[in-house]
Amino acid sequence: MSETVEPGQDAEPDPAAFFDDAPCGFLIVGPDWSIRRANAQLEQWIGTSRGELAGRHLRDLLDVAGRVFFDTHFAPLVRLQGAFHEVALNLKRADGSRMPALVNAAERTGADGAIEAMLVTVFNASDRRRYETELLDARNALRELNEDLEDRVRKAVKARLEAEDTLRQAQKMEAIGNLSGGIAHDFNNILQIVSSNLGLLSKRVPKEGADFLANAQAGVGRGAQLAQQLLAIGRRGPVETKVVDAVAVIEGMHDLLERTLRSSTRTSFDIAPGVLPVEVDVSQFENAVLNLCINARDAMEGLANGELSLVVRDWPAGATALPKDLHGPHVEIRVVDTGAGMDAATLAKVFEPFFTTKSSGKGTGLGLAMVYGFARQSSGQVTIQSAVGEGTAISVWLPRSPKPLDGGTVPEPVPIRGGDETVLLVEDDDEVREATRSILADLGYTVLLAQNGAEARRYLRGSATVDLTILDLILRDSEDGIALMQEFKSKANDGGLLLTSGQADAFEDRLDPSFELLRKPYDVTALAAAIRRAIGTDGRAASQQATPRAADLPVLPTGMRVLIVEDEILILMAAVDQLRDLGHTVFDANSGEAAMEVLRTADIDVMITDLGLPGLDGGALARAARQSKPSIGVVFATGAHDLPDLPGAAGVRLSKPYREEDLAKALEAARPEP
């Protein structure tokens, strides 16, 4: 029966209720660790019925790892110490799952010191274990994040150091390029003095001295090539790019390479099939390949079984073989040798101009520097791999061009046939015009000449009958031949029209398919056949108009008022004499400021100026001249690749060193329209 508690009297706690209703698990176990009693909370956690745990061994409540720990640590330590606190164990539930728990145990001894029982408390550590697991996962994630961050920092630092090395190398090459360009500029001026005076002298010496003058001019030409090599190092030289098949160019060099390389060197060519279009200056491309092969050959000097491999590969965009800073598809030209190789110190200088590992007199140190300049000027790159005793591999990477190849097919040979018709030849290049005139005259044609659109229109307005007009599509007066083509079609007295161009692809979508197109370069056979197709094999009906006499032809302008601006006095003096020999009225100035004074007092037709003038440079002078007289023609005498932008018509390049005939062509190209 229950005990009644009077009001005001404190109730004594019921030990049995406290044992069963405690928020933690309680166990009373005997000295042999058999369970005598378990409270309700523990039985609920484990999922057993009331009283079901009695009689079982405590270790039966543990998982495998817990049983091992119980036998080796827990039970022995309780016997030794009399207690064991805060032991993390996993209890097995009735459904087979595990419950993380913190277990405490203490012995209860009798008066005689014998162990009567052990009291065990169990705390549910599921939340704690989850927090610990989450904390451990967070720590692991943080560690991985730190490791990743450290790795990224290492890579970023490495990339920055590499970028700084690349920048230093680029700055060094730029500085050396500036130096080379300056040397080339001064060298070109010296060559110009020699060339100009040789040209003047050639008109004043007997024929017996012509061979000596020709040899001297050939020497000037070789010097000019060296100057262009120096300019190529700094990527300043003039280039004439075209889209060509890299495979075809290199295969065309096969015989040259075989002759250049020693017989003791085994040479192999591994060239990818198909067409690999690249946009390059062909002569520079060939020089680059030749220089790489010569360097590889020389690196194997003295070796009895040296091997040289020339490999050409086509790499798509994103290919792992591409250098990391190249994007898009590229063509690789790789030259590999089995020579002595290079150490790191040599590799660091290998592309520097004038650096060479060859003995005195056997190398200029310009070969690889030229290759480097060519690749950069072609929007490409050069890479090199080498190690001492392992040979060297140098690769030139060039962007694969999406443009069609330049040039056309050669016509099938046909019998050469001329005629007696009148042909108007509209061609701006003096040498091409004169050579074509000679061919036409030999074929029996009466030839009328025009060097630009304005002169051609004079014939349309005149009385001369024209049976065929041969029209270049690109003329110096910045007027393409398409407009003239349409004009001639309606005004040329029903005469035929033959179009010519070395860049016909640029006009392909604008050409009238009814007109014959002759691609440059062409030979006598191709020209003769094209003329007959354009006129008609049987010729035209006899004209009622007589063939014009020379007196009936338009009188074309000759001499002009020319201002020559040059700070090198010897070049200036020679140029003045050359201009006078060409029949022009000459004004001269040795600075931009002096030239401005001339322009204010004289009506100048064409101004020839050096770019590198002291004070007011040639570009600023030309712009000022155009502002005061928009029609003035401008010629830049320079060895540089890029010309200043001008309002109106573009300036004409006159590459130093130049000959009198080069000067004459440049003046005609810059001649203002009347």
SS3 per-residue string spanning 340-409: CCCCHHHHCCCCCCCCCCCCCCCCCCCHHHHHHHHHHHCCCEEEEEEECCCEEEEEEEEECCCCCCCCCC
Q: Are 434 and 476 in contact (CB under 8 A)?
A: no
Per-residue pLDDT tens over the stretch 314-359: 999 888 888 888 889 999 999 999 888 888 888 877 777 666 666 5
Residue 507, pLDDT above cutoff 70: no
The tokens describing 94, both together, are: 């009735």
Q: How far apart are CA 276 and CA 95, in angstroms?
A: 72
Q: Which stretch of 144-148, 176-180, 573-577, 583-587 has the lowest confidence by average pLDDT?
A: 176-180
User: CA of 216: how far to CAs of 194, 201, 321, in Å?
Assistant: 9, 11, 49
Which of 397-401, 406-410, 552-556 is least confident?
A: 552-556
Where is average pLDDT lowest: 107-116, 309-318, 327-336, 554-563? 554-563
pLDDT of res. 361? 45
Q: Which of 16-20, 294-298, 415-419 has the lowest mean pLDDT?
A: 415-419
pLDDT of residue 291: 83
DSSP alpha helix (H) spans, 466-523? 481-491
The H or E element that residue 575 is part of is helix 569-581
Three-state DSSP class for 542? coil
Structure tokens at 475: 């003329």
Contacts of 439 (CB under 8 A, 6+ apart): 524, 527
Note the pLDDT tens digit of each residue in 590-648: 889 889 988 988 889 999 999 888 889 999 999 999 998 999 999 999 877 678 889 88
**Domains of the chain: residue spans and CATH:** 19-124 (3.30.450.20), 246-399 (3.30.565.10), 422-552 (3.40.50.2300), 561-670 (3.40.50.2300)
What the block records as the tokens of 138 is: 């967070």
Measured N-to-C along each axis, helices 430-442 and 660-670 cross at an angle, to the nearest 10 degrees, of 100
How far CA 440 is from CA of 446, 489, 516, 539, 549, in Å, comes to: 8, 22, 17, 15, 18
Residues 180-206 have a mean pLDDT of 68
Please give the Cα distance from 312 to 633 (Å, whole number).
46
Q: What is the mean pLDDT of the chain?
A: 78
Question: Which residues does 486 contact at the CB level (< 8 Å), separation at least 6?
Answer: 512
Tokens, residue 67: 């049983």
Asked if 475 contacts 485 with a C-beta cutoff of 8 angstroms, the reply is no
Give pLDDT tens digits for 129-168.
888 888 989 999 999 999 999 999 988 888 887 777 766 6
Which pTM does this prediction carry? Answer: 0.38
Task: Choose from 129-138, 233-242, 555-564 the range with maximum mean pLDDT.
Answer: 129-138
Residue 281 is predicted with a pLDDT of 84
CB 189 within 8 A of CB 574: no
Q: Is the pLDDT of residue 102 over 60?
A: yes
**Cβ 180 vs Cβ 234: under 8 Å:** yes
Nearest to 411 by CA among 524, 502, 535, 245: 524
Higher-pLDDT residue of 204 and 532 is 532
Select from 234, 527, 561, 247 the least CA-distant residue to 376.
234
